[in-house]
Amino acid sequence: GIRLYYHGGGFVLCSVDLQVFHDFCSDMARDLNAIVASPSYRLAPEHRLPAAYDDGAEALEWIRNSGDGWIGSHADLSNAFLMGTSAGGNLAYNVGIRSAASDLSPLRIRGMILHHPFFGGEERSGSEMRLANDQVCPP
């Protein structure tokens, strides 16, 4: 199978280049005997949503349309899962919902694995309002 893993970081931090994400994906590939792809996506504040969602969907399309012979010979595209941690869980969810009504053949999404997904509301919480000007981790 193939797992498309979106990294966490609150949509503002981190990248697929971080060792912790690399190790996590490598371990998952070994333990599941699956291909794990972990695409980059644009981060805020320079790129507001839905930029990350667009990038996540584009990565899914790239895998689907890839003429890469290695992917075709090593990955079972009919056994695909979207996965993400924190903001990446939100991203995996949104990419999954966006693609649910699409024909992605030969790619078939079997499910989503949402690892501590971040889902914020439209209304700001008390801590978000209190920390609006925080220099370390603004909301």
C-alpha atoms less than 13 angstroms from C-alpha of 75 in its C-beta half-sphere: 24
pLDDT of residue 73: 83
The stretches of the chain forming alpha helices (DSSP H) are 19-32, 51-65, 69-74, 87-99, 126-130
* pLDDT surpasses 80 at 85: yes
Is residue 115 within 8 Å of residue 25, measured between CB atoms?
A: no
Is residue 87 within 8 Å of residue 15, measured between CB atoms?
A: no
pLDDT of residue 61: 93
6-10, 103-107, 131-135: least confidently modelled range: 131-135
The CA-CA-CA angle for residues 17, 45, 52, to 5°, reads: 60
* pLDDT surpasses 70 at 136: no
Could you tell me the pLDDT band of residue 137, with boundaries at 50, 70 and 90?
low
Could you tell me the pLDDT band of residue 139, with boundaries at 50, 70 and 90?
low
Domains and CATH numbers, the chain: 2-130 (3.40.50.1820)
* Average pLDDT rounded to a whole number, residues 90-107: 93
Nearest-angstrom CA–CA distance, 107 and 2: 9
pLDDT of residue 122: 76
Q: Which two tokens stand for residue 12?
A: 């503002």
Nearest-angstrom CA–CA distance, 139 and 52: 17
- Average pLDDT along the chain: 90
